[in-house]
A and B are shown apart, each in its own frame.
Chain A
């Protein structure tokens, strides 16, 4: 059974996982997400927690609720996610990665971009 780490609240971890799937186009923009119950059963998470995760995605402008129909991926959601991820990489991950590369004495020439 899936276990959740202790760094973040479970709803936040689920929201991150669902966002990562949206970034890969699953489901595509304009399409519906699985229902709260289907997600709850798939991830074995309380439905209230699933609703909170979907709420978080809604707050970020990634999904929207269509009354009586379900929750849909908003147009432009992927681009939005991609630019947020890009920003996070450049601000948080890249400085750490660069520092590590410098420590190891790896320069641009040793890095293979073509593979």
Chain B
């Protein structure tokens, strides 16, 4: 099965500055992929390259084409909400639907109206009268009404309250994810989105530190909760990270630690946020971690 997105040795630069450095990953169909990284890690740059907005070195294939070369063809089957997305404030929602109908050959106005119906927004509302959460929902409804195969969302829920974030992701799962299409979504709300994801890609200072399915992550990484009294013995087994959990301490290992160490604690599900912290900190901090 041909993956929907395939990057091999992808490098992206702004002038002399390398923003994304020799990154390789694939995204097959039917996945919800989280793109995690601190500010400046290269998330937005990578997403821009995927939609053909930046020239790249290395090989990049999105839906069978090179995004920078065949951008127009690509955008027929790829939906994108950039981090700086805005809708014109003066426009009514039904005007936006008319506009999209004229702009995009695979946009369905009926579908957009059906999606808007899910929300508390009405077709006659003007963008300027809507809350931030509502605007983002309208945006998703417009983009999800495109019959596309890949959706790219750059921090779509930034600045939204918890109910708006929930409504956003409910619509995404309910109306977009059909087992064939894939989504790549970047966010800092790692804990909140973890259960939604099938895969995760982590960037640190432009470099890929992990690209893995969450199922594989559960198998590969081992988290042990343990009595603080065992801390020294646990530390001797070189965990990636030691942290506090409710009622004690915990340690995260890449691969199972020796049986003698496993016997000191209780195995837990490794959490994505702990793994992210462990893999994206400066190495010198890892060494002094106590």
Q: Is the CB of A46 within 8 A of B195?
A: yes
- Pick the interface stretch among A7-15, A20-28, A54-62, A94-102: A7-15
**In the assembled complex, how far is the CB of residue A75 from the closest CB belonging to chain B, in whole angstroms?**
30
Contacting residues, chain A, for B27 (C-beta < 8 A): none
- B-side contacts of A2, CB under 8 Å: 195
Q: Mark B176-203, 1 if CB is under 8 A from A, else 0.
A: 0111000000000001101111100000
Residues of A close to B165: CB separation below 8 A: 1
Complex Cα–Cα for A25 and B19 (A): 55
A7 touches B196 (CB 8 A): no
Complexed CA–CA distance, A10 and B173 (Å): 17
CA distance in complex: A46, B162 (Å): 19
B residues contacting A by CB (< 8 A) are: 30, 32, 162, 165-166, 169-170, 173-174, 177-179, 191-192, 194-198, 214-215, 218, 223, 245, 268-271
Given contacts A44-B166, A45-B195, A45-B196, contact A6 B268 (CB under 8 A): yes
| A74 interface residue (CB < 8 Å to B) | no
Contacts of A3 in B (CB 8 A): 191-192
Q: B174, A37: Cβ atoms under 8 Å?
A: yes
Q: In the complex, which of the residues B169, B177, B218 has the most CB atoms of chain A within 10 Å of its own CB atom? A: B177
- A4: interface (CB < 8 Å): yes
Decide: B271 and A44 in contact? CB cutoff 8 A.
Answer: no
Closest to A43 in B: B195
Contact partner, B269, options A1, A8, A38, Cβ 8 Å: A8
Binding site for B on A (CB under 8 A): 1-10, 37-38, 40-41, 43-49
Partner of B174, one of A5, A8, A9, A41: A41
| Residues on the A chain within 8 Å of B215, using CB | 48
Bound Cα distance A11, B152 (Å): 26
B195/A47 in contact, CB under 8 A: no
Q: Which residues of A contact B32 (CB under 8 A)?
A: 46
Q: Which of A2, A44, A45 has the most CB of B within 10 A?
A: A44
CA distance A2 to B192 in the complex (A): 8
Q: How far is the CA of A47 from the CA of B198 in the complex (A)?
A: 9
In the complex the two chains form, is A4's CB within 8 Å of B173's CB?
A: no
Q: For the complex formed, measure the closest distance between the CB of B220 and the CB atoms of chain A, giving whole angstroms.
A: 13
Residues on B with beta carbons closer than 8 Å to the beta carbon of A37: 173-174, 177-178
Instruction: Give the residue of B178, B198, B270 whose beta carbon is less than 8 angstroms from that of A48.
Output: B198
